[in-house]
Amino acid sequence: MQSPSTKANIALTLATLAFAANFSVWVLYAVIGIHLKSQLGLSATEFGLLLSTPIFSGAVLRLPIGFLSERYAPKKLLLWQMAFLIIPLIMLKDATTLVDYLWLGLLIGVSGVSFTIGIRYVVDWFSSQKQGTAMGIFGAGNAGAAITLALAPWIIDHAGLDLLGPIYAAGMILVILLFGFVAPQTPAYILQKNKQGWQHHFEPLRHLAVWRFGLYYYFVFGGYLALTLWLPQYYVSAYDLNINQAMALTLLYVTSSSLVRAAGGWFADKYGARTVNWSVFWTCLVCLFFLSYPPTTMVIQGVDKQVNLHIEINVWVFTGLIFVIGIAQGFGRASVYKIIYDYYPKQMGSVGGVVAMVGALGGCTLPLIFGIAVDFIGVYSACFMLLYAVLAACMLLMFVANKKEKHQERVRHAIETNFLERD
């Protein structure tokens, strides 16, 4: 018979594998979209809409699925969710118009809810001292995006775009069989303990802190997801790279950001999630400041002649800054969920579902806004200007909330030590 620790490790490993497989499907349009942009003659706004469609359905469904995962066995929910994906993946081969790809994208977006179900499945196997690390390891399943960025172009080159969906469907069937037969079932007594009334799970949603955590996740996960989808065509459009070069550089961002999430969970356990979050935000703010600056040519009136000054971030400096942001976002995704567990350990499905939904909406709304901004402003770096504004809002809210909490703690301490009397 397997020991509890062995079962926990198996559960974590297979849940991470299942999440990686689902995430690889969720970002499939990042590769398909580049081919369709020229094939269907899409504008930047239409391209952003195409990328956003699967992310949208995956985002909005995270909330109801989060509540269902509190009431029903997460393993069974994850199996049903993966089985659902097989049909739209096979149907991709018959899509010919933008409308076809949009409604199939909505169905494929169900892959996005795997995070909410999986995180609920994982937390039941670990103690509070190891939650940050466990959730960080599970979150490294974001590396599924790297699988698609590396594998999907190869499949298209050798088998054609029509066979991409069916091949992914076959891979999903293998993951279903492995997870279904090998992953341990959550013990019945834990499932029974988790079955609190609906009010128990809805009550935290009235707290502003939950939605504040959602905004943090909007940047660290929504921004990561949006850049995963947007960067390949950014490299092609802004730096005239070919598709393979663009995919390789995007792959560097995606892989590094995903793999450090486990380390981010460990740091959150050891040094505190709030400290990690604050460091992440400052790092990203500095990088986004430089990325937001568009290529500029200035004419300086010299003593006896005009001096032309051209300022532009070359592709290697750009990639370096993106790499740093990716590392920081990986730490941030882990620390946000550690904060959620610190506040709501008994409501990870419902509260985690809300935060995951808000974060995923970033991956849905940001590519669309990126496209609109590029069409309207006319500079490629407009997307980083928008991310800078989102991050500034996150930091302002975090600063105000931290000051308020410290004040409340001082008042509470004063009351407890009789420095103040309760009215």
Q: What is the pLDDT of residue 201?
A: 55
pTM equals 0.73
CATH of the domain at 68: 1.20.1250.20
* Domain assignment of residue 326, yes or no: yes
Higher pLDDT, 38 or 13: 13
The stretch 82-104 carries a mean pLDDT of 93
Statement: residue 132 has pLDDT above 80: no
288-339: pLDDT as tens digits:
999 888 777 677 777 777 777 777 788 899 999 999 999 999 898 888 878 8
Statement: residue 198 has pLDDT above 70: no
Confidence of residue 193 (pLDDT cuts 50, 70, 90): low
* Domain assignment of residue 294, yes or no: yes
Statement: residue 423 has pLDDT above 80: no
Confidence of residue 359 (pLDDT cuts 50, 70, 90): confident
* Domain assignment of residue 145, yes or no: yes
* Domain assignment of residue 40, yes or no: yes
Region label for 334, one of left (φ > 0), alpha (ψ between -120 and 50) or beta (otherwise): alpha
Lowest-pLDDT range of 59-68, 176-185, 194-203, 266-275: 194-203
Q: How many domains does the structure of the chain reveal?
A: 1
Q: What is the pLDDT of residue 349?
A: 65
* Domain assignment of residue 50, yes or no: yes
* Domain assignment of residue 423, yes or no: no
User: Which range of residues forms the domain containing residue 283?
Assistant: 4-416
Q: What is the pLDDT of residue 328?
A: 92
Contact (CB, 8 A) for 350 and 70: yes
Residues in CB range of 49: below 8 A, 6 or more apart: 102, 368, 371
* Domain assignment of residue 132, yes or no: yes
* Domain assignment of residue 422, yes or no: no
Statement: residue 87 has pLDDT above 90: yes
